Structure 1
Amino acid sequence: MEFEQIEVPDEGERVEVLDEEADEFEVPDHPIIPILYGDGIGTDVGPAAQKVLTAAAQATGRDVSWMRIYAGESAREKYGENLPDDTVKAIEEFRIAIKGPLTTPVGAGFRSLNVALRKKLDTYANVRPTYHLEGVPSPVTNPEQMDMVTFRENTEDVYAGIEWEEGTEEVERVREFVEEEMGFDDTIHEGAVGIGVKPITEFGTKRLVRRAIDYALEHDRDSVTLVHKGNIMKFTEGQFRDWGYEVAEEEYGDEVITEDTLWEERDGEQPEDAVVVNDRIADNMLQQILTRTENYDVLAMPNLNGDYLSDACGAQIGGLGIAPGANFGNALCLAEPVHGSAPKYAGQDKVNPTAIILSGVLLYDYMGWNDAAQLIRDAVEETISSKKVTYDLHRQIEGGEKLATSEYAEEVVNNIEKLA
């Protein structure tokens, strides 16, 4: 495949897809991996993560050829547009990639580039593991109790972007349809209005819940919790809940039981090697992740709920500066940190690159490089435990050593070499 502005490395091989629908692929020992540094602090944390990931690959007898791709500000400079076809094609071609944060203006301008990428690539599952690293300051007394993985549906809900701006002919047509033809004549206040549509489909729900259950079974997790607001939005989020239970009850046999079955037929005794599927109302779940943290393992939910809940989980383990994430499709992974682009800190070599480094851990795990992934996690934890941290953690740690972004990455690399 030819690209306009992307240089494909001379060395390295592509990931070979064996069965896309079954999510089966083969990763060479020297793959080509696209990397998008991103906007704002992405220009600092992207290269830092690249250095750490390369070191872990080489320490385990492999290597990576990195291929720069572009979106946001870097793409506007090269292509004159925010999301060039080159970038989408490169990720589709090479199947595994990592990106930094991209800036999206609030209220005006282009829609979220992060969302646009996920939709174009059909990376329908945004996965965010949340776990505490020793030495990271936390606002809660027992942050080590937090060990959850959120599966957030990536393509539907209000993030689908089906909405109409106030004052336009289109929004008035939608208002008229809703009020006069659908009978909701007392629902929308008079005056200016913006209207959005919230689609949640059986197809989108079931493939997301299926992926969450598969993860729980593969990683020896006890439960999958469907998080929804179905008590109010009965035909969207309520349907998400119902479709989720259908997947559990119809596709997994004895490997999965519902919470009702657990208590009504087994008196609360969970079978060995079985996953329990339950559900919780979203607002209640926001407080339960704080008050009953140890009770939950894997969370599956619509898009907006997943955004809120994963950030709330991240707060308990020290904040979004260390919160990793990745987007998964069929035989495709685009890893990215949870945090934003923080443009006011761009180019200052001061921010914490841990989140994108740990997003690389997710990428390596997906590739089957579990030893390299664990090595990175151990090296990051060793670095933070030794109180060698960036400014955000340094101001909370007594007697710590404040490092620049690049210095922190170098320290992680040193620990990789020691631990290997």
Structure 2
Amino acid sequence: MQTKTVLFIEGDGIGREVWAAGRPVLDAAVAKAYGDFRKLDWQEILAGKKAFDATGDYLPEATMTALKNCDLAMKGPLETPVGGGFRSLNVTLRQVLDLYACIRPIRYFKGIESPVKRPDLVNMVVFRENTEDVYAGIEYKSGSTEARKLVAFLRDELGANVDDTAGVGVKPMTPNGCKRLVRKALRFALDDKRPSVTLAHKGNIMKFTEGAFRAWGYEVAAEEFADSVMTEDEAKNGGKKPVIIKDRICDALFQQVLMFPEQYHVIASPNLNGDYLSDALAAQVGGLGLAPGVNMSDDIAFFEPTHGTAPTIAGKDLANPGSLVLSGAMLLEHVGWGEAAALIHAAMEKVISGKRVTVDLAGQIDGSTQVGCKEFGELLGQAL
């Protein structure tokens, strides 16, 4: 038997419910695709409120040690403790484990009623840089000693025009951080036979951070992928390479992905722009309840649903386990078990088309019947 060990964190809020509903679907898909020849070996580790209740620590050292020595992990949503010393548990995990690429595929499932005319044309993968930009942001409160010192330095030493009362923030972006993100996006496009990678940036205004992201992205393409990646100008002049690298200013790209989604296949972006774009794209195809994701380093693939803990509906059997299930399908694809992943995607489309869905989807689909989190998971399992 071929076994893949997956460390998992149940998560806070709706985490327990979506795990209970979603994990059996993943196991059933593997069993149907491969019988007794392949299996997922789930091993629980603790983080968040469950960890605090058991150990007095929201992020135990044993959990971090286990994660640093694994290659596959999966988690539910984690809340950030107020006054717990963490800016965010999710951000801490990403930075400590160097999970620099947040990868979010967005696709349409038949049966979803969307606010846009052609949601079926949406089929993109967003690569969002995960450790720099605002996620590594340094900021000082208006009127604080630190802010006054930094404002004085900017004004007196560098000649910048900054008001004395300003709150001040700095967002660091490095050549290495930007290049490795674009490199991963280009490799994915080539491996998955996607025809383009678009760099999303605000380089017309922030020339030495977001503009640098754009420039460094083109450098990676030219220096490391010259045989297989070409610019838009090269394509217009008759180039025949399999992938086109292009760039768009992020606000213009928001409009483009709404009006012409078929023109965009892979998007690579600094942190904040990627967050906005992936959530906006998810809204076109059903919302965060169907939005999977993975955070990756060069060694670890850490899969997780895109939604948060949703504390107002926790324990009420209202959550949608779809995002967790689809994140699991991503995991299966990642390890080469594509047949099981395909079964999950087909089951999701079948159940949604049958109009028996959780509350978040029921509000978008005329004539639908609302079911609970547990029942939705059971319907997915039956549809495999």
Query: TM-score scaled to structure 2, two decimals?
Result: 0.94
What is the root-mean-square deviation in Å for CA atoms of aligned residues? Answer: 1.8
Report the Cα offset of residue 137 of structure 1: 2.0
Q: 1:84 aligns with which of 48, 52, 60?
A: 60
> 1:334 is matched with which residue?
302
Report the Cα offset of residue 172 of structure 1: 2.8
**Where in structure 1 do 4 or more consecutive aligned residues deviate above 6 Å?**
105-109
Contact 1:254–1:274 (CA under 8 A) maintained in structure 2: no
Structure 2 unaligned segments of length 5 or more: list them: none
> 2:90 is matched with which residue?
114
> 1:356 is matched with which residue?
324
> Secondary structure in 1 aligned to 2:147?
helix
Q: 2:48 aligns with which of 64, 72, 82?
A: 72
**What do the CA deviations read for 1:88-112 (whole angstroms, capped 9, x no partner)?**
2222222101111122379997312
CA distance in 1, matches of 2:367, 2:140: 53
> Secondary structure in 1 aligned to 2:306?
coil
Pairing 1:344–2:312 present:
yes
> Secondary structure in 1 aligned to 2:276?
helix
Report the Cα offset of residue 156 of structure 1: 0.5
Contact 1:99–1:336 (CA under 8 A) maintained in structure 2: yes
Contact 1:257–1:275 (CA under 8 A) maintained in structure 2: yes
Contact 2:289–2:320 (CA under 8 A) maintained in structure 1: yes
Contact 1:52–1:412 (CA under 8 A) maintained in structure 2: yes
Query: TM-score scaled to structure 1, two decimals?
Result: 0.87
> 1:299 is matched with which residue?
267
CA distance in 1, matches of 2:343, 2:114: 23
> Secondary structure in 2 aligned to 1:148?
strand
> 2:196 is matched with which residue?
223
Name the stretch that deviates more: 167-176 or 276-285. Answer: 167-176
CA distance in 1, matches of 2:222, 2:30: 40
Report the Cα offset of residue 147 of structure 1: 0.5
> Secondary structure in 1 aligned to 2:39?
coil
Pairing 1:42–2:10 present:
no
Percent of matched pairs sharing the same residue? 49
Tell me which amino acid in the other structure corresponds to 1:170.
Answer: E
Contact 2:114–2:364 (CA under 8 A) maintained in structure 1: no
Q: 2:184 aligns with which of 200, 203, 211?
A: 211
> Secondary structure in 1 aligned to 2:115?
coil
> 2:215 is matched with which residue?
242
> 1:32 is matched with which residue?
5
Pairing 1:311–2:284 present:
no
CA distance in 1, matches of 2:31, 2:150: 57
> Secondary structure in 2 aligned to 1:127?
strand
Report the Cα offset of residue 274 of structure 1: 1.2
Report the Cα offset of residue 254 of structure 1: 2.5
> 1:157 is matched with which residue?
133
> 1:25 is matched with which residue?
none
CA distance in 1, matches of 2:190, 2:360: 36
The count of aligned residue pairs is 381
Report the Cα offset of residue 157 of structure 1: 0.5
**Structure 1 residues 412, 227: CA separation in 2 closer, same or farther (over 3 Å shift)?**
same
> 1:181 is matched with which residue?
157
Report the Cα offset of residue 128 of structure 1: 0.5
**What do the CA deviations read for 1:304-352 (whole angstroms, capped 9, x no partner)?**
1100111111111111111111111113100111111111111111111
Task: Please show how residues 324-403 of structure 1 align to structure 2 within 5 Å.
Answer: 324-403=292-371
CA distance in 2, matches of 1:47, 1:195: 44
